Amino acid sequence: MTAPLTRRSVRWLDQRTASAPLLRKALRYLFPDHWSFLLGEVALYAFVVLVATGIYLTFFFVDSTKEVVYNGPYAPLHGQEMSEAYRSVVHLSLSVRAGLLIRQTHHWAANVFIAAIVLHLLRIFFTGAYRKPRELTYWLGLTMLTLALLEAYLGYSLVDDLMSGMGLVIGYSVGLSIPFVGENLMNWLFGGMFPGSAALWPRMYIAHVLIFPILIGLLLGAHLLLVAMRHHTQFRQRKAQTEHTIVGVPAWPGQAPRSLGLMVGTAGFLFLLGGLVQINPIWLWGPYHTYSSTNGAQPDWYLGWLIGGLRLVPGFDLVIGGYTLVPNPFWGGIALPLLVFGFLYLWPWLERRFTGDQAFHNLLDRPRDAPVRTGIGVGMVTFVVLIFFAGASDRVYVTFGLGYIPQIWFYRVAIWVLPALFGFVSWWACKELQAGETVLAERHEAEAEARLARMER
């Protein structure tokens, strides 16, 4: 009975959409097999979970900063002045059945989404997957990472709890520090000086739930389309895998259940986290007011490097004749991400300029195959990770008793010295590994020759 039904459905679909040739090709599309190719997929599935849980949250969230008084069941907040936005999230978390589960799952999904993108990016970088003909795919991916960071920051800010307000005012100050245009830009975005006009929250909300998700979705579609058009890259795991021939598991039937399993598994993992591991208990932070803040505040992990950047810069504004050209937050909040993302965007072009490599690449490098790239990449990662650690030096002080000021001075030097050192060591290690392989290959060759000679004798 099943066969006729399958055939009837396929026929019905093809007659109405003329899609059988395309579908046939899609079903036999090849996926080379390597665990690291799943990182991008995890990001995609976390995005799906984000959209699904996010839609649920929109049915409860109120995008207003109108001051109200809390009278709900959570006693510690009784009688406190707060925004309607914060009150609605407290209500969702503490009084709506399954509300906290969905909210925490959404928050965890955001953290995993960005973590998966970053790991995916590292894989792409260190294997040279961005090389011709896949530069566009790479740039689309980087743009999605940028959008994802802004989107996550917006979501974090919307709640209007104490932590989110502190994050928002820092973002405002960073925007204000952009030379020449900062003051007008922030007036324009916020509808006036901080804390902004009543229109600010509806603006942030529509950006978070509509504009950014649609942009990310569109870029995601283009990203996947480009991947499929040029086909996947592959490692040289077998002899048959060459620049011209791709070897892999077909989408149907081999890959489909595995990928679906990964999607469902990602969702399951995120729901487990959302239910069992508390994240951002906003009722404990209390409402934000411009005149309140708290010690020990840490942002979500993906903004840790920017906090570190802001903290490391020595205290000065660049002033020329009374005109404040570069207020301090510019260095950590704008210059640092510009440097890192500028490097990432320009890297394919830079590498091609220095290597003169104009060839098509379908085979991936192992990190050791490109020692210079690996060295520079490790240096860059070390730089960002050290700044990230610098952002946690107040926690290190509390936990381990290491003085805050000495730590900051250590990082102010280390972020320049250690990347160079680690980069050099990685470059050297790659060279050594390459040399080791040559020696091994020569030995195998010699042994084979010797065996042959013995047999002839």
Distance CA 58, CA 394 (A): 35
Q: How far is the CB of 128 from other proteins (least distance, A)?
A: 16
Distance CA 46, CA 144 (A): 14
Residue 21 found at the interface with other proteins (CB under 8 A): no
Q: How far is the CB of 43 from other proteins (least distance, A)?
A: 17
- CA 354 centroid distance within chain: 28
- Binding test (CB under 8 A) with other proteins, winner from 206, 272, 350, 441: 272
- Binding test (CB under 8 A) with other proteins, winner from 17, 19, 184, 438: 184
- Binding test (CB under 8 A) with other proteins, winner from 250, 381, 392, 431: 250
And the tokens for 393? 């030096």
Pick the closer one to other proteins by CB: 362 or 382. Answer: 362
The identity of residue 268, as a single letter, is G
| Interior angle at CA 281, CA 112 and CA 154, nearest 5 | 55
Count of CB atoms situated within 10 Å of the CB of 282:
22
Sole window of 14-22, 109-117, 289-297, 420-428 interacting with other proteins (rule: CB under 8 A): 289-297
Reduced to 3 states (helix: H, G, I; strand: E, B; else coil), residue 69 is: strand
| Helical packing angle, 162-176 and 182-190, nearest 10° | 140
- Binding test (CB under 8 A) with other proteins, winner from 40, 128, 213, 274: 274
**Consecutive H or E run containing 53:** helix 39-58
Residue 16 found at the interface with other proteins (CB under 8 A): no
Residue 437 found at the interface with other proteins (CB under 8 A): no
Q: What is the rounded end-to-end Cα distance, in angstroms, of the chain?
A: 67
Q: How far is the CB of 257 from other proteins (least distance, A)?
A: 3
How would you label 172-194 residue by residue, b for 16+ Cβ within 10 Å and e otherwise? bbbbbbbeeebeeebbeebeeeb
- Binding test (CB under 8 A) with other proteins, winner from 354, 404, 416, 428: 404
Residue 110 found at the interface with other proteins (CB under 8 A): no
Q: Are 79 and 69 in contact (CB under 8 A)?
A: yes
| Interior angle at CA 321, CA 319 and CA 326, nearest 5 | 20
- Does 299 sit behind a cis peptide bond, omega within 30 degrees of 0 on the bond before it? no
Instruction: HSE, CB side, 13 Å, CA atoms: give it for residue 218.
Output: 7
Residue 6 found at the interface with other proteins (CB under 8 A): no
Considering only residues 198 to 217 of the shown chain, the ones binding other proteins according to CB under 8 A are 199, 203
Burial class (CB within 10 angstroms; exposed 0-12, middle 13-18, buried 19+) of 126: buried
- Binding test (CB under 8 A) with other proteins, winner from 98, 420, 440, 448: 98
Residue 1 found at the interface with other proteins (CB under 8 A): no
Considering only residues 316 to 355 of the shown chain, the ones binding other proteins according to CB under 8 A are 316-317, 319, 322-325, 327-329, 332-333
Residue 111 found at the interface with other proteins (CB under 8 A): no
Q: Are 305 and 180 in contact (CB under 8 A)?
A: no
Pick the closer one to other proteins by CB: 328 or 426. Answer: 328
Pick the closer one to other proteins by CB: 82 or 430. Answer: 82
Residue 357 found at the interface with other proteins (CB under 8 A): no
- Binding test (CB under 8 A) with other proteins, winner from 14, 84, 183, 369: 183
- Binding test (CB under 8 A) with other proteins, winner from 10, 254, 340, 418: 254
Q: How far is the CB of 276 from other proteins (least distance, A)?
A: 6
Distance CA 176, CA 91 (A): 34
Considering only residues 43 to 72 of the shown chain, the ones binding other proteins according to CB under 8 A are 67
How would DSSP label each residue in 284-344? HH-B--TT---TT----GGGHHHHHHHHHS-S--EEETTEEEE-THHIIIIIHHHHHHHHH
- Binding test (CB under 8 A) with other proteins, winner from 52, 262, 381, 433: 262
- Binding test (CB under 8 A) with other proteins, winner from 291, 413, 456, 457: 291
- Binding test (CB under 8 A) with other proteins, winner from 60, 194, 345, 410: 194
Residue 116 found at the interface with other proteins (CB under 8 A): no
- Binding test (CB under 8 A) with other proteins, winner from 289, 352, 366, 368: 289
Residue 79 found at the interface with other proteins (CB under 8 A): no
Q: Are 147 and 223 in contact (CB under 8 A)?
A: no
Considering only residues 127 to 166 of the shown chain, the ones binding other proteins according to CB under 8 A are 133, 166
